[in-house]
Structure 1
Amino acid sequence: MKINTNNIQCNKIPFPHAFSKNFLDGQQAKDILEWLEIAPWHLTVTDFYSQYEFLLDIQNVPKNLQFLISDETKQRLKNLMENLFSCRLKDTVEIVAHRLLGNQIIKIHNDYIEEADFETESHRLLIQLNYGWPADNGGYLMIFNSENPQDIANIILPEHRSMFAFEISRESHHAVSKIYAGCRYTLIFNFYRNK
């Protein structure tokens, strides 16, 4: 995968996170987006979100996009995350695609699972994909200073090819505001801390 790591902005407040515009190569982004329009989506509904999603694997990723799930891409992104967050991560990388349509929303949450009986993700990297996202489409990524939905720290427009990465913790409160128009696609790379 062709990525640009030159202009990544890092911040530790309100929780460790990083952001970059034009992170993903333009042609690759176009190819991925064309595939996502016809990909095998499944609707998932929980108490805090409703969205379409699926796990990327060797069976459902077309040959021209196999770079998305290649060991080289996983290792490169793992190394990037280790550098951004000063951590050690396992080689395991799970890749999921999300799609949000009109009226869908992801309410405030932190992705942290307390005392899990199974291994849970410790870090995430998100890549936004769309055909240009006007502000009145909604679908903003919102990060919060606390679990109070009024306590907004930052609001980020899901610009095409942009990246947002963060460390999952009790403090990593975030949400996606209501979609009013358009189709908001996100690739999510999940990482696991090496303990």
Structure 2
Amino acid sequence: MPLDAGMPLYTPDDIMRGTKPGGKVVIYDDDHYYMGGVLAELLVQEGCDVTIITPSAYLSDWTVNTLEQHAIHKKLAGMGVEIILNHGVAEIAQDHVKANCVYTDAIRNCACEAVVMVASKLENNGVYLDLKSREDEWADAGIKSVKLIGDANAPGPIAWATYAGHRYARELDGDDIGDALPFRREITELARD
């Protein structure tokens, strides 16, 4: 998307490190879980006027699965957050964001002084790559295998990283099962019919 260098742009990592925008802020939430809503709440509490834009039909869409979506939307709307659903971001200009409808591509301008992008994250696999490059030293150090898991493989919610660590511990030094399920599923006779 076109991006004007004059518009201050932030990520969730910037905000967690204490570098926060002020004034009118647009949050573009293409993550669809909790982060966009959490940042909107935080910025409102810090005095910002917040608009959150998401291409999804629901704010924090994934939280429909955790039964939190209704409460999140209600709380943010009650705090005065403007919620724009079914819109992407076509352009970030110097003083506004051009949001485009995912169905009609109609443009809606949202004035702002800063933008927070809650979108794709990159893996952090430097330690893994370093260890792989030194594979010839593993045997001397007593290392049998090194596996890439969790956020080093693909950033995601904390629950996914916890599951990846748990699964790795259960399968440590075992046979590689590939994409097979690491647990048994009990299927009743009725379900098989």
Q: TM-score range, shorter-chain basis? A: under 0.3
TM-score by length of 1: 0.22
Q: Compare the two structures and name the one with the higher helix fraction.
A: 2
Which of the pair has the greater relative contact order for Cα pairs under 8 Å at 6+ separation?
1
TM-score by length of 2: 0.23
Q: Compare the two structures and name the one with the higher strand fraction.
A: 1
